[in-house]
Amino acid sequence: MMYLKKKSISIISLILLIAIAFVINYTYQNESNKVTGNKNQVTNTSQTEKSKSLNTSSTNTSSKALSGSLTSGLFASYREEREVNRSRSLDALKEIVNNKNTTKETRDQAQNQIIKLTEVTQKEMAIENLIKAKGFQDAVVLIDNDTANVIVQADKLSEQEVAQIQDIVTRQTGISIDNIKIMNRIN
């Protein structure tokens, strides 16, 4: 009996460690993306100045295409990293569920977390698609507990666009507007 309690505690501790690692990774990623975002702004400014001085349409078109593909690559990178982290979490939870020595209570908790992760993933995808339907080129949504972070591909966001995004997130998740953070990535 004591052996099963120790095992349950260790499994729950592992789940918490995975969650903490996810949060730390997410925080680190946001900080590094801010630095990268500033570099992209400087790069885009210098590219724009060069294209103005050359005054050729072909250079201007290729600059925009390069910038657009870099931004699209960043959004794909965000999604890929999110999916890798989710897969790791799901694998750990499935291992707990499939372990014969896991108690029923721990197994039920792991199954509930699997369901929650699946629901969160579906909500994120739905919100991303709804934001794109509003006319934005791309968006990435990251939902964690009662907060949502939305990154939208746009030069700048008007108050009306921010309100639209907040409305979409609130309707899909029930998260209050105070816990929704919206950022834009420059094209």
Summarised one tens digit per residue, pLDDT across range 9-59 is 767 766 766 766 666 666 666 655 554 454 444 434 334 443 433 333 333
CA-CA distance, 111 to 156, in Å (whole number)?
Answer: 41
User: Domain count of the chain?
Assistant: 1
Single pTM value for the model: 0.61
- Dump pLDDT digits (tens) for 88-111: 999 999 999 999 998 999 999 999
What's the average model confidence in pLDDT over 150-157? 92
In angstroms, the Cα distances linking 103 to 17, 89, 98, 115 are 19, 19, 11, 18
Residue ranges making up the domain that contains 177: 2-185
CA-CA distance, 71 to 101, in Å (whole number)?
Answer: 47
| Sheet hosting strand 180-185, strand order edge to edge | 139-144, 147-153, 180-185
User: What is the identity of the amino acid at 128?
Assistant: E
Q: CATH number of the domain that 98 lies in?
A: 1.10.287.4300
